[in-house]
């Protein structure tokens, strides 16, 4: 059992999915830096917002599944966050698209949801909590960002958000359980979550609200 667990972690580490982690970290870091830009903060705050948004969800995930906290054992994640913060700082605001925080956050949401579920499974977490870990990985960075910026949290906005993360992580878990290889499953799951989140941003899609 221990050897099988070790092999699963090794296979996960050697796959292309850790690259998805770096992409998601960078995209989330951009959304954090853009939030700092919206609040007209200084360069240090840009860097802090980029870092806390980029690594926040992954930190919570690793603590919950018993994995080494990823950015404590590699300089790449924090370096990417700081570079993204500098990129936003030195880029004119007109370069960024309309509602840029939402779109970059949506990309990071789908990517991190897939990666979080995959990493949880590699560490022996059963399918349902693994899917939940995908949601936690995807959502916590944005929650930290919004709380620090003192703005309404993105997870309580009316349009679909947590649902898109759940679609990505749940799709990945289901597809791999059906025997689809890791990378095709990750690609399909990422596309499904991002398309749903994009449609929610553009068209205001939401689930029915509670009514007594």
Q: Provide the residue-wise pLDDT of the chain in tens; the chain has 212 residues.
A: 445 555 555 555 556 667 778 888 998 899 899 899 988 899 999 999 999 999 999 999 999 999 999 999 899 999 999 999 999 999 887 777 667 778 888 888 998 999 999 999 989 999 999 999 999 999 999 899 999 989 888 788 777 899 999 999 999 999 999 999 988 999 999 999 999 999 998 888 888 877 87
Specify the number of domains making up the chain.
1
pLDDT value at residue 15: 62
89 part of a folded domain: yes
208 part of a folded domain: no
pLDDT value at residue 6: 56
23 part of a folded domain: yes
182 part of a folded domain: yes
Cβ contacts of 82-85, under 8 Å, gap ≥ 24 = 82/47, 82/50, 82/51, 83/26, 84/26, 84/29, 84/30, 84/33, 84/50, 84/54, 85/29, 85/32, 85/33, 85/36, 85/43, 85/46, 85/47, 85/49, 85/50, 85/51
209 part of a folded domain: no
pLDDT value at residue 20: 72
210 part of a folded domain: no
- Give me the domain span that covers residue 105: 2-203
96 part of a folded domain: yes
């Amino acid at each position: 059992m221990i050897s099988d667990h070790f092999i699963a972690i090794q296979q996960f580490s050697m796959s292309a999915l850790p690259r998805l982690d770096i992409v998601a970290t960078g995209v989330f870091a951009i959304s954090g830096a853009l939030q700092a830009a919206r609040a007209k903060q200084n360069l240090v705050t840009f860097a802090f917002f980029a870092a806390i948004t980029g690594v926040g969800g992954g930190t919570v995930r690793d603590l919950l599944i018993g994995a080494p906290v990823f950015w404590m054992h590699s300089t790449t994640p924090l370096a990417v966050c700081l570079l993204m913060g500098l990129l936003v700082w030195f880029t004119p605001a007109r370069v960024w698209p309309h509602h840029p925080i939402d779109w970059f956050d949506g990309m990071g949401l789908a990517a991190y949801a897939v990666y979080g579920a995959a990493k949880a499974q590699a560490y022996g977490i059963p399918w349902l909590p693994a899917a939940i870990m995908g949601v936690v990985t995807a959502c916590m960075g944005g929650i930290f960002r919004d709380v620090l910026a003192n703005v309404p949290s993105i997870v309580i906005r009316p349009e679909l958000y947590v649902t898109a993360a759940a679609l990505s992580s749940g799709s990945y878990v289901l597809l791999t359980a059906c025997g689809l290889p890791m990378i095709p499953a990750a690609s399909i799951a990422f596309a499904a979550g991002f398309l749903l989140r994009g449609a929610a941003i553009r068209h205001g899609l939401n689930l029915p609200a509670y009514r007594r």
